[in-house]
């Protein structure tokens, strides 16, 4: 049986009271979506929270159906091992993802899904009280690179991530429509069967879901061009809302809305953070001072740059 390397591991800020393996026949008592084909069911019991993970590992996929039940707001961490690609389905509740500097990566909403890319590192998840259920499918990057040739939008995003320096990227968040619900139902209602048959079954439905997501990205392609334009003009002191609206013939409202819809981040915050990243790189590489750097990253005033840079956490 061909297994993927474990893409990530969970970590907790507080000592969990209990961690145990749960038998498959007991799943219906503990969760809303029991996976008959799961290979391992990990149950974590914290003081006022419970987490159940139903796991299936067969390359090129690592499936993790996570259910969090908590009496109060709860936070835990996950450590990503190597570059990973996730297809994330928020079936119930919502989750917020943050980097190690507490910058928001994505706020996933109920009945929504998205593709995200993470490099090695430690990341945080925050949930409110109640029940939160997510299906997380890790896709082997090499397999995705081969099949994404058929999906131009996903292929372009994957190329950017592999060549870029960003440690993570959360893409457009779309609704789980009727077709996706049907395909997901086929997956998590599957019975245990011959692994070769199940492998073909999974690949077929993953291809359908990737094709569906790629079509959704067609409507957001302009925003990728806007992001690329930002990357290429970070050193221009005129880079801002007005310049972007004029270049792409958009209203300010449309520009802000489309960028937030696609990347889940305010466009001005994104520009500022990219300039801070560039400034940090210049200062580390050339042993430069703030006074020597601020104009090189598009700032007109040293005091404004210093204010932002002192609050920047790489």
Residue 69 has pLDDT above 80, yes or no: yes
Q: What is the pLDDT of residue 163?
A: 81
Residue 157 has pLDDT above 80, yes or no: yes
Q: What is the pLDDT of residue 96?
A: 93
- Collapsed DSSP state (helix, strand, coil) of residue 258: helix
48 CB-near residues (< 8 Å, 6+ apart): 70, 71, 72, 74
Task: Tell me which of 15-29, 110-124, 155-169, 246-260 is least confident.
Answer: 15-29
Give the integer Cα–Cα distance in Å for 76 and 48.
Answer: 13
Residue 62 has pLDDT above 80, yes or no: yes
φ/ψ of residue 14, rounded to 5: -105, 155
The more confident residue out of 187 and 251 is 251
Residue 275 has pLDDT above 70, yes or no: yes
- Polymer length of the chain: 314
- Per-residue pLDDT reduced to its tens digit, 7-43: 999 998 766 667 788 777 777 777 888 888 888 999 8
Q: Give alpha helix (H) positions in the chain.
A: 27-30, 141-147, 152-163, 178-188, 195-218, 221-232, 241-248, 252-263, 267-286, 290-293, 302-310
Q: What is the pLDDT of residue 196?
A: 76
Q: Bridge-partner residues for 123, per DSSP?
A: 78
Residue 310 burial (C-beta neighbours within 10 Å; 0-12, 13-18, 19+): exposed
Task: Tell me which of 71-85, 118-132, 207-221 is least confident.
Answer: 207-221
Mean pLDDT of 276-293: 83
pTM above threshold 0.85: no
């Amino acid at each position: 049986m061909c297994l993927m390397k474990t893409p990530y591991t969970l970590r907790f800020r507080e000592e969990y009271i209990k961690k145990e393996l749960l038998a498959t026949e007991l799943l219906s008592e503990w969760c809303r979506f029991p996976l008959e084909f799961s290979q391992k069911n990990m149950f974590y019991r914290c003081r006022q929270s419970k987490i159940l993970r139903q796991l299936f590992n067969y390359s090129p996929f690592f499936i993790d159906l996570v259910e969090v039940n908590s009496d109060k707001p709860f936070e835990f961490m996950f450590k990503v091992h190597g570059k990973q690609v996730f297809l994330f389905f928020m079936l119930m509740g919502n989750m917020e993802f943050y980097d190690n500097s507490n910058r928001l990566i994505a706020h996933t909403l109920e009945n929504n899904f998205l593709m995200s890319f993470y490099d090695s590192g430690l990341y945080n998840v925050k949930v409110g009280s109640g029940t939160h259920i997510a299906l997380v499918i890790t896709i082997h990057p090499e397999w995705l690179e081969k099949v994404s040739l058929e999906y131009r939008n996903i292929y372009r995003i994957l190329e950017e991530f592999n060549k870029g320096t960003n440690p993570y990227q959360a893409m457009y968040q779309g609704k789980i429509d009727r077709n996706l619900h049907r395909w997901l139902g086929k997956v998590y209602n599957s019975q245990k069967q011959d692994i070769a048959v199940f492998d073909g079954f999974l690949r077929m439905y993953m291809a359908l879901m990737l094709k569906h997501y790629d079509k959704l990205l067609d409507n957001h392609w302009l925003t990728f061009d806007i992001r690329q334009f930002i990357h290429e003009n970070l050193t221009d002191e005129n880079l801002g809302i007005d310049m972007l609206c004029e270049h792409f013939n958009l209203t300010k409202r449309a520009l802000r809305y489309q960028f937030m819809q696609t990347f889940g981040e305010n466009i001005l915050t994104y520009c500022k953070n990219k300039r801070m990243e560039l400034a940090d790189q210049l200062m580390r590489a050339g042993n430069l001072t703030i006074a020597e750097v601020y104009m090189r990253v598009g700032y007109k005033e040293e005091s404004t740059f210093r204010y932002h840079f002192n609050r920047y956490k790489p």
